[in-house]
Amino acid sequence: MKKFIVDTSDTYFLDKIYDDIEKLCENYIKLLSKNVIGKSVEGRDIVALKISGEIKDEKPAVLLVGGIHAREDFSVMLCMKMIDYYCNYYEAGKSLDGFDVKNIIDMTDMYFVPVANPDGLNIVHNGPESSSNYNKLKNMKIWGEDHTYWKANANGVDLNKNFDDGNWEIRTCVPGTDVPCSDRFKGFAPDSEPETKALINFCNKNNFELMVTYHCSGNCSFWADIGTHDMFNGLDEKIMDELNKKYIYRKTKISQDPKVYGCGFENWFRARKKRPGFCIELSPFVEGGKQHPDYMFDELVWQHARSTGLFFAEKAVKVHSEIHDDTEKYAALTRDEIVR
């Protein structure tokens, strides 16, 4: 077996992530490809990586996204380490946690966006002074003790409240977050941020059967909202029940209030792409929103979540077989039927 490239023993800095992306693509040139899908506020690359096996025909595809929230870098570490391990195990013909890695990757296309908010990750690791947008950021409120609590992008927008799933007008801000800040500000307009646009455009150019966003913390899953749940005829819940049985991530109730759940990426994906979208909250709950120290990643996250990407890739095949033939029916649904 080849040596692993990604080191998650402690803080995983952005420059090292970009460097590892290049090394991974060089190391697995026949298996892994890179695509820059957009630029951040400060002009950093938003990178998508695709793992595709020997079978190159059109296949069901799954999208796995990390780093939407800046301070949740466990999600970035997970995506990068999954890419490293899946490519390595594919070439070695090894299984991971009972999953036949080669077979799954030959059956599906796995897409990762490991760092959806690179500017925010830089702020968390190096402080707002390191941002080219510092003159704007220095007057924004940090919801926490210091810059390591930063959640937003370099415009102070919480990206996971900026997607136009049909609920942006009614999506409420916590008192004090109705202006640019590090936490929960939805922006001045829906889909306003370059990072948001990059993810939307990427989804519109590809036919993902399902998508997953990784966040922190709580060891739980958000898998359905009242506005879209009925269109899946129970398939989303079947997938979530299987996840809940196999992994430590508690199954939450169906989200009921669009003023509270609206405008997340997974909510947008369900409403606009008419496919299941899941949010996995990694690691135990931490009061105040900040995740555990980075050196605890392997213990708290990797040991539990390392095969979730393979799990969801398998489920993408299931979604394709069960609802792909109903595309025209779903496309005919009106906006009001999709988003309530």
Greater pLDDT, 130 or 335 = 130
In the prediction, which pLDDT does 198 show?
98
In the prediction, which pLDDT does 325 show?
59
Under 8 Å between Cβ of 295 and 10? yes
For the chain, what is the mean pLDDT?
93
Beta bridge partners of residue 210, listed in sequence order? 62
Asked whether residue 3 is domain-assigned, the answer is: no
Mean pLDDT, residues 259-274 taken together: 97
- Measuring CA to CA, how many Å separate 259 from each of 116, 186, 226, 264? 24, 12, 12, 11
Mean pLDDT, residues 81-86 taken together: 98
Q: Among the listed ranges 29-33, 56-60, 77-81, 90-94, which one has the minimum average pLDDT value?
A: 56-60
Asked if pLDDT for residue 329 goes beyond 50, the answer is no
Asked if pLDDT for residue 327 goes beyond 60, the answer is no
Asked whether residue 6 is domain-assigned, the answer is: no
CATH number of the domain where residue 281 is located: 3.40.630.10
Asked whether residue 172 is domain-assigned, the answer is: yes
Q: Based on the number of CB atoms within 10 Å of its own CB, is 316 exposed (0-12), middle (13-18) or buried (19 or more)?
A: buried
> Whole-angstrom Cα distance, residue 114 to residue 48?
7
Q: What is the largest CA-CA distance in the chain?
A: 53
Three-class secondary structure of residue 149 per DSSP: helix
> Whole-angstrom Cα distance, residue 75 to residue 68?
9
Asked if pLDDT for residue 334 goes beyond 70, the answer is no
Asked whether residue 8 is domain-assigned, the answer is: no
Asked whether residue 241 is domain-assigned, the answer is: yes
> Whole-angstrom Cα distance, residue 94 to residue 102?
8
Q: Which domain holds residue 26?
A: 14-338
Asked if pLDDT for residue 335 goes beyond 60, the answer is no
CA-CA-CA-CA torsion sign (257, 259, 262, 264): negative
Asked whether residue 299 is domain-assigned, the answer is: yes
In the prediction, which pLDDT does 331 show?
43
Identify the DSSP state of 255: B
The tokens describing 318, both together, are 């299931």
Q: Report how many domains make up the chain.
A: 1
> Whole-angstrom Cα distance, residue 275 to residue 235?
10
In the prediction, which pLDDT does 168 show?
93
What would the pLDDT profile of 275-313 be if each residue is shown by its tens digit? 999 999 999 998 877 889 999 999 999 999 999 999 999
> Whole-angstrom Cα distance, residue 203 to residue 48?
11
Under 8 Å between Cβ of 290 and 198? no
Asked whether residue 62 is domain-assigned, the answer is: yes
What would the pLDDT profile of 161-216 be if each residue is shown by its tens digit? 999 999 999 999 888 899 999 999 999 999 999 999 999 999 999 999 999 999 99
Asked whether residue 59 is domain-assigned, the answer is: yes
